[in-house]
Structure 1
Amino acid sequence: MNNKQIKDLYSIEAVQDLDHEAAATISGGSLDLSDLKGGKGKRLDNIAKARPSLGKFDKKASWYEVTGKRDWIVYTGKNFTGASRTLKAGTKGNFFSPFNNSIESAKPA
């Protein structure tokens, strides 16, 4: 690395922390899930890419929020199988049967 590169690196004066909404806008959006209606309870936030399994959060989601400009599809089975529902960008709400406590995978639409 030459001296010019080092100078440019150190000339950065401020690093700004982004809140969740700003980060989601920059990244294209994300999916947030909660195990209780209304978004209360344990959460799995900032899902930004396809997840063939939600791991410890499988079959626990009762609420969702889609941030950014990208729709998401959730599935009742692992590996994007089973019943599916499209969650529109910029929306949030509670899951109802057959999706409440049944989501196992999710991916951007």
Structure 2
Amino acid sequence: MSNFNNQTQDLYSIELVQDLDHEVAASVSGGAALELYRDSDFQNPIFFTDGGYSYIGDASNDQVSSIRVNEGTWAFYSDANFQGTRSTLGPGEYPFTGNLDVGNDSISSFSRLS
């Protein structure tokens, strides 16, 4: 709750105020090196990060359909623990992962190479 001009108001009732998880909050406050999205054309964000993951989790596993690399070179793997088919991407926008060796909705882990 906040008190502005002697009026008490719940911040979440104000339009455009959201409760962000740590990954999204980090990207909003300082930018992220890598952005992963559940759907093509950068819809439905999953991860905003500067580091790799050996397993992206049950909620996101095999669901990445678009990627935005803001900095660095990254490797994406079809299996957990940096195993399986690998695609390497540098800075750029990749609106559909089906064009990559690793394939659409197949990424299970990723790491930053540089």
Instruction: Please tell me the TM-score bracket, short chain as reference.
Output: 0.5 to 0.7
**Higher percent of residues as helix:** 1
RMSD: 2.1
Partner in structure 2 of residue 61 of structure 1: 64
Partner in structure 1 of residue 84 of structure 2: 82
Aligned pairs for 1:12-91 (under 5 A) are 20=27, 23-24=30-31, 30-41=33-44, 43-55=45-57, 56-68=59-71, 70-91=72-93
Tell me by how many angstroms 1:50 deviates: 1.8
Tell me by how many angstroms 1:53 deviates: 0.4
Residue-by-residue CA offset, 1:2-35 (whole Å, 9 max, x unaligned): xxxxxxxxxxxxxxxxx948824xxxx5211111
Amino acid at match of 1:23: G
Which protein has greater RCO, CA pairs closer than 8 Å, 6+ apart? Answer: 1
Query: Percent of counterpart pairs with the same letter?
Result: 20
Provide the C-alpha distance between the structure 1 equivalents of 2:30 and 2:93, rounded to a whole number of angstroms: 17
**C-alpha contact (below 8 Å) 2:27/2:49 kept by paired residues:** no
Amino acid at match of 2:94: K
Which structure's CA Rg is the greater one?
1
Is there any run of 5+ residues in structure 1 with no aligned partner, and where? 1-18
Task: Pick the aligned partner of 1:106 from 95, 104, 110.
Answer: 110
Could you tell me the TM-score, scaled by structure 2's length?
Answer: 0.65
